[in-house]
């Protein structure tokens, strides 16, 4: 009797498993993308672990403006869930979304502190930025920009993102310390210089990150498929055993009360934003800067990781080129998903939601479809309940993952002809300014500007796509506005 019952239970379990896998196969086209449920879920977990820091960092930054920290905490998680779900279910691509680092600092320190807007007005700017990005996506402006980017710069963007990710990993792992030097080093004493220096490894965290990096590299060399995820887990365990993560006093001091969201939900002050006609130029220039940065962060991330790994393959590129008024390609759907997420985040009460470059960590372990993104979104949602468990994973555990992903992404620069200065100069500035400027958009803008300069200088101005002239002009305008406003 017991044996028959057990056999029947196992049979039902098998049928449910086949049914579930069938649904996943049909919806996400796993076989077509040469992947499976297990691989996609591992990739989603890896992406989540490398992105999870934003849950703790974003509320700390935005709360400085006077926003309710707990409300921002909830808004951060829910905006990541919504944005990433749209990316996975609509575009079927393995990219995670969440409030962007850099953009949240711009929101707090520039818009609120420096320019004097309220946080409600800043949210209104973010909302309008999202609407603007939806408009330029629907009108195919983003498509025109992508088509105008020369191949050499696309390779440089991919390599630059690799360097940028690795740089973030080096900082998070404690491998670099920063020394504030005396003036006179920069612009004849107008600024002080913050100079990076390699740590002396007296810090326990840096040693743990180094241990994790060695483990991850060894596993990669041995061709272990889940090398990056295993590296994160092993380093986390080592951090617990060595006392780097202290559990005695609790991990997270955040009350995940959904009711607190009412303190930021639908608080955009659009009317107040335009109440003073004397500030119209300032308002529009700030929204423009927001939109430009968000747009090129996304374009850089999608092109730099998606095309290199084959997520946006030749077939998808053909659909992207031939589509007429419809979103037939995954790349177009991904751009649209990103634009929607920004406005949704503003409604909830957070700064710009953008596509995360850390998604490359999940892609590097095999993530190819939207199931990776859905897994990441589900884990973000679960973090409302299991926050203490997530808080156990320290930055030193995810830092090695970012570093090795940077290594994996840098190989595209071999396709650039470095002996040709017309290509080498803009490619170099794209590569260098992403990590040094700590911004994907900064690297792209410098690359665009020097690409146009080199072509005009060589008398080849007709080879530059008209859209490149327009976008480069906008980058220059943004620089001028930031200087005079």
Q: What is the pLDDT, as a whole number, of residue 87?
A: 92
What's the confidence (pLDDT) of residue 164?
85
pLDDT score of 41:
92
Phi, psi of 278 (to 5 degrees): -70, -15
* Dist. CA 248–CA 397, nearest whole Å: 20
- Percent of the chain's residues with pLDDT above 90: 25
pLDDT of 250: 45
Task: Return the pLDDT at 19.
Answer: 47
Give every CB contact of residue 11 below 8 A, 6+ residues apart in sequence. none
pLDDT at residue number 137: 80
Cα–Cα distance between 263 and 67 in angstroms, integer? 8
Distant-in-sequence, close-in-space partners of 350: CB < 8 Å, separation ≥ 6: 58, 62, 72, 75, 76, 79, 99, 104, 126, 264
pLDDT score recorded for residue 446: 93
3-class state of residue 178 by DSSP: strand
pLDDT the model gives residue 248 = 54
pLDDT at 192: 57
pLDDT, residue 12, reads: 47
Q: Please give the full DSSP string across 38-66, using - where no structure is assigned.
A: HHHHHHHHHHHHHHTHHHHHHHHHHGGGT
The model scores a pTM over 0.85: no
E strand or H helix that includes residue 376: helix 370-382
Low-confidence ranges of the chain (pLDDT < 50): 2-3, 6, 9-13, 15-17, 19, 249-254
Task: Give the pLDDT score at 249.
Answer: 46
pLDDT digits (tens, 9 = 90+) for 123-177: 999 999 888 888 888 777 777 887 888 888 888 887 887 888 888 889 889 998 8
> Nearest to residue 264, comparing CAs of 44, 35, 134, 71?
71
**Measured distance CA(421)–CA(117) in Å, rounded:** 44
């Amino acid at each position: 009797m017991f044996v028959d019952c057990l056999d029947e239970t196992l049979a039902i379990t098998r049928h449910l498993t086949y049914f579930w896998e069938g649904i996943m196969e049909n919806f996400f086209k796993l076989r077509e993308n040469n992947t499976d449920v297990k691989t996609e879920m591992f990739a989603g977990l890896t992406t989540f672990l490398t992105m999870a820091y934003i849950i703790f960092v974003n509320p700390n930054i935005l709360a400085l403006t006077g926003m309710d920290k707990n409300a921002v905490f909830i808004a951060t998680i829910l905006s990541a869930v919504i944005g990433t779900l749209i990316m996975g279910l609509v575009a079927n691509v393995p990219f995670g979304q969440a409030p962007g680092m850099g953009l949240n600092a711009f929101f707090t320190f520039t818009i609120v502190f420096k320019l004097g807007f309220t946080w409600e007005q800043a949210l209104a700017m973010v909302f309008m930025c999202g609407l603007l990005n939806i408009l330029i996506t629907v009108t195919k402006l983003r498509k025109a920009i992508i088509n105008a980017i020369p191949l050499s710069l696309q390779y440089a963007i991919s390599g630059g993102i690799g360097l940028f990710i690795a740089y973030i990993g080096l900082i998070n792992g404690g491998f670099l310390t920063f020394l504030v030097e005396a003036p006179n080093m920069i612009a004849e004493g107008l600024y002080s210089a913050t100079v990076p220096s390699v740590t002396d490894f007296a810090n326990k965290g840096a040693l743990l990150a180094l241990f994790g990096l060695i483990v991850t590299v060894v596993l990669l060399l041995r061709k272990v498929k889940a090398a990056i995820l295993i590296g994160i887990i092993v380093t986390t365990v080592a951090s617990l055993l060595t006392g780097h993560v202290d559990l005695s006093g609790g991990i997270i001091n955040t009350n995940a009360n959904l009711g607190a969201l009412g303190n930021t939900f639908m608080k955009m002050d659009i009317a107040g934003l335009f109440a003073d006609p004397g500030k119209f130029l300032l308002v529009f220039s700030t929204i423009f800067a927001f939109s430009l940065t968000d747009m090129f962060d996304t374009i850089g991330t999608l092109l730099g990781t998606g095309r290199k790994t084959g997520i946006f393959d030749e077939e998808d590129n053909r659909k992207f080129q031939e589509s007429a008024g419809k979103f037939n390609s995954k790349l177009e759907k991904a751009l649209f998903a990103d634009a929607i997420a920004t406005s949704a985040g503003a409604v909830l009460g957070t700064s710009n939601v953008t596509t995360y470059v850390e998604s490359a960590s999940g892609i590097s372990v095999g993530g190819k479809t939207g199931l990776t993104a859905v897994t990441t979104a589900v884990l973000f949602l679960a973090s409302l309940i299991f926050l203490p468990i997530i808080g156990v994973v320290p930055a030193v555990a995810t830092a090695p993952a970012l570093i090795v992903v940077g290594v994996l992404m840098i190989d595209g620069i071999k396709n650039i002809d470095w002996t040709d200065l017309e290509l080498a100069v803009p490619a170099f500035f794209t590569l260098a300014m992403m990590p040094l400027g700590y911004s994907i958009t900064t690297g792209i803008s410098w690359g665009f500007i020097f690409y146009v300069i080199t072509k005009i200088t060589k008398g080849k101005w007709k080879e530059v796509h008209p859209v490149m002239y327009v976008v480069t002009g906008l980058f220059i305008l943004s620089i001028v506005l930031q200087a005079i406003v």
